[in-house]
Structure 1
């Protein structure tokens, strides 16, 4: 059953919605769709009160640790945390109240996947793959997609394909996949990517990138046969968007749950 998944994107300590492809280390050319007047904990509590599970807090660069910790304090065991997660700090975030940790760049030293690094993260989590989400956020390369790391600016040699997905699935409980080329543009989802993910993944998948309205939720549900969830960010009214309201997304989830 496809669900709406909430998010809290943190940049320089604030909750922001940005155009993913413009995020760089020095922020030259960064395009921001919205900077919230509310702290991260406000959104965490909002999601808690509305029973929205599976939301992710993403730290986009340094200076976001305090805000991330505050969001976890507002909803212990209710949020996933990503951004700079590695074997040396993964357990610290779980101990701080994260339901799961999300890992990306640490797995790709010099742009090449490291199984050893993945195993090291799982080891510090006591071998419990239910605590680990692998972020395979990607960009289009030719007719396919490759994982993009370092704020989605470095394209790795790791392809999104059935073989690689099958190899990763035993180590995690879920995939989080931002379509970086569509992130923040509110121009519609990558339909081919959503359909492909549904075909090759056997564990839960959350897709983000380009979601605009309830029709896109319906579209993701239809394309994936209910196997892929959708995060909507910039188009959401609580983040300054005009495409769909937070209340409408919550109601959409409730109706889907009642129908099952």
Structure 2
């Protein structure tokens, strides 16, 4: 059954919810800036045993907050954002259950199997999550790196998902074109993930209500989990409450 997965998104040292497609070197279109630090949300998720959540650092200046979140719930949160084979061990030792990688695995838009093997030597398969966040193109969906601004040559399809599945524990996939817009999920992408992913996968992007948890469950046959960000009441949203998501997971 589809589960709700929590998130802590960090931008410029604060917990924020942004419009994913707007993120660049100058900043981002922001939906919400929290008065709480990252540890507050980590402790909240720990209290309610909301498992499999992720802390994502969107650009520089976020390490202090990330480490606070990981320390608040050791083993309870995944971490991504600038992770590579040199710093992955540090984040795991700091309390991350898994590390999440995207941009490190690419050079000039090309996927590097050599880099994948290098980070696997540090994390093993069981503590590595591949972030295949993507944008729509004429080819379908292509992985986007560098804060979703650089579209790579790697297409998110059944072949890619099957090929990469044996190299990691999970996939995390943001639909960057709808991320933060609260305009509904990318239904076709969710269905593809449900049909093609042989390992656990979390989708994020566009969720706006409890009905989206039901829709993802239906479209994916319960195989895809869902992250809800900007629509959630704890992030200033009015579409769905954290308590509703907690109750959904207890079904």
TM above 0.5, yes or no, is yes
Hey, what does 1:33 align to over in structure 2? 31
**Over aligned residues, Cα RMSD in angstroms?**
0.7
The TM-score with structure 1 as length reference comes to 0.95
The TM-score with structure 2 as length reference comes to 0.99
Hey, what does 1:13 align to over in structure 2? 13
Query: 2:146 is matched with which residue: 145, 150, 154?
Result: 150
Query: 2:136 is matched with which residue: 122, 129, 140?
Result: 140
- Aligned partners of 1:82 and 1:135: how far apart in 2? 8
Hey, what does 1:252 align to over in structure 2? 248
Deviations 1:140-161 (A, max 9, x none): 0015100000010100000011
* Superposed counterparts of 1:9-158, under 5 Å: 9-27=9-27, 30-125=28-123, 128-158=124-154
- Aligned partners of 1:187 and 1:249: how far apart in 2? 19
- Aligned partners of 2:22 and 2:35: how far apart in 1? 22
Aligned-pair CA distance for 1:91: 0.9
Aligned-pair CA distance for 1:124: 1.5
Contact 2:139 2:155 in 1 (8 A): no
- Aligned partners of 2:133 and 2:209: how far apart in 1? 21
Q: SS of the counterpart of 2:111?
A: coil
Most deviating of 163-172 and 56-65: 163-172
- Aligned partners of 2:231 and 2:37: how far apart in 1? 19
Query: 2:198 is matched with which residue: 197, 202, 208?
Result: 202
Runs of 4+ off more than 3 Å: none
- Aligned partners of 1:112 and 1:37: how far apart in 2? 39
Aligned-pair CA distance for 1:167: 1.5
- Aligned partners of 1:134 and 1:189: how far apart in 2? 20
Hey, what does 1:176 align to over in structure 2? 172
- Aligned partners of 1:53 and 1:130: how far apart in 2? 16
Unaligned runs of 5+ in 1: 256-260
